[in-house]
Structure 1
Amino acid sequence: MRLAKLTPYATGVLAIGRVDRSEADDGLPVRSGPVVARISKGLALPGGTRDIAGLALRLPTISGEPWDLLMASSGGSGKWERRGPRPANDWHAADFSSLTPFQHGGGRWWVRARCATPIPVAGLSLGGIADALRRDGVEFALTQAPSGQDFRPLAWLTLHDIHQVITRDDEVDHHRLADLRPPDPRDAANG
């Protein structure tokens, strides 16, 4: 799967972390490894105001070619609810969905995500999620399902390093996930 190049929303947090595969060889060919992610607000509403939450990931795969996956807060996990974007009240309660299924291995697949880390700041605040990332990191549970079947675990996503926080007023170049690379694990041994 290769989705269109991901461009950031007007506001967001660009983070680096790791994805750990739940069960090898079960479903989608995502493998454990470093990941780049963007947590964003689709409408760029101020502060903790309710908004469409976004989660974009650059995932490592068994083939070595990364997948770009874009999810948005949806109406829930039901067959019809997961198909439409819906504003979220806070990061921890948002049900992220790929919104449309994608083709893989002759079937149509869905991916969902849910923040497993309580964010101490109320609402959908980018400052709150950035603080949680800086403090202890933020985890998301990723699940997968072929069309018409139940969701099952795919991976755990742990984000822990902030690359950039972009607000509407920032005068910085907006990076695409496709332009970023997670740090090489070999460099960690060298400091």
Structure 2
Amino acid sequence: MNYIDSALRVPFSLASTLRRARVFHAHGVVAQGHAELGSHWWPVQGRVPVTVRLSRGVGLPGSVPDILGLSIRLHLAARPWDLLLASTDPVTRFLPCPALSWSTAQYSSLNAFRTPDNDSRTWVLASPDAGQPRTASLNALSTADPLHFTLSLARSRSDTTAAGRLSLETPVSIGDDEEQPDFDPVLHHPDGLEMWPEWVADARRAAYSGSRSGRHSVDA
């Protein structure tokens, strides 16, 4: 167990046990849909089925601005790929920042991705299309029109290219934490693609493992 494991796994396990839910993004809304991937950077191109979870990071009440989450599971033939995006500072696009509403949130993967033989770093971005709720309330999503997002890839703040679209086809549903899928970008990713910087992957691995073990200890 490295120092990151020691620093994060136990605190996240305890916090999850006390909260009886995920430490962050404890409550969310799940929807089914598809992505149209149009860049050769993706491991596949074309139409891919997805499961998406929209959530509030800190869990502040009602429509109070919060760090909004957009978790995307791409159901690839080989294995699922989980992308966890969060609302970010509109200037840098790489720092988590509370959003006033679902309609104004700008999402980023926060960490970059790269291949072992290529040091080029790529972030995944998502922007909401028109028509999303002008509030940050989860309840507003259950009565919203179908949600659509534009996907982009960024290699720097000024180097961003269009990469596809995300469409949620079925009505969203609000459920309890344990009724919803666990998204884990450390466990679920394509072969040959790794997170950068490496300590981010180590931190996420320890945090997710601790959070899961804390929730499971409540059920035991």
Per the normalisation by structure 2, the TM-score is 0.64
Pair 1:108-2:121 in alignment: yes
Pair 1:28-2:42 in alignment: yes
Q: Describe the shift of the 1:171–1:147 C-alpha distance in structure 2 as closer, same or farther (beyond 3 A).
A: closer
Q: Tell me the CA shift for residue 171 of structure 1.
A: 7.6
Mapped contact 1:16–1:161 kept (Cα < 8 A): yes
Q: Describe the shift of the 1:60–1:126 C-alpha distance in structure 2 as closer, same or farther (beyond 3 A).
A: same
The more displaced of 140-149 and 41-50 is 140-149
Larger radius of gyration: 2
Aligned residue number for residue 127 of structure 1: 139
Alignment of 1:174-189 (within 5 A): 174-177=180-183
Give distance in 2, aligned partners of 1:148 and 1:164.
Answer: 34
Mapped contact 1:30–1:59 kept (Cα < 8 A): no
Pair 1:66-2:72 in alignment: no
Q: Tell me the CA shift for residue 149 of structure 1.
A: 6.1
Pairwise CA RMSD: 2.4
Q: Describe the shift of the 1:87–1:148 C-alpha distance in structure 2 as closer, same or farther (beyond 3 A).
A: closer
1:25-66: CA deviations, max 9, x gaps?
Answer: 3x23243211011100001112211000000111245x7332
Look up the equivalent residue of 1:159 and give its one-letter code. L
Give distance in 1, aligned partners of 2:180 and 2:103.
Answer: 26
| Residue of structure 2 aligned with 1:158, choices 162, 167, 170 | 167
Look up the equivalent residue of 2:68 and give its one-letter code. A
Look up the equivalent residue of 1:85 and give its one-letter code. P
Q: Describe the shift of the 1:149–1:103 C-alpha distance in structure 2 as closer, same or farther (beyond 3 A).
A: farther
Structure 2 unmatched ranges of 5 or more: 1-21, 185-220
Give distance in 1, aligned partners of 2:162 and 2:69.
Answer: 20
Per the normalisation by structure 1, the TM-score is 0.73
| Residue of structure 1 aligned with 2:154, choices 131, 140, 145 | 145
Q: Describe the shift of the 1:172–1:100 C-alpha distance in structure 2 as closer, same or farther (beyond 3 A).
A: closer
1:52-102: CA deviations, max 9, x gaps?
Answer: 0000111245x73321110100002x4xx2221100000111110111212
Mapped contact 1:142–1:154 kept (Cα < 8 A): yes
Q: Describe the shift of the 1:9–1:152 C-alpha distance in structure 2 as closer, same or farther (beyond 3 A).
A: same
- The alignment covers a number of residue pairs equal to 159
Structure with greater helix share of residues: 2
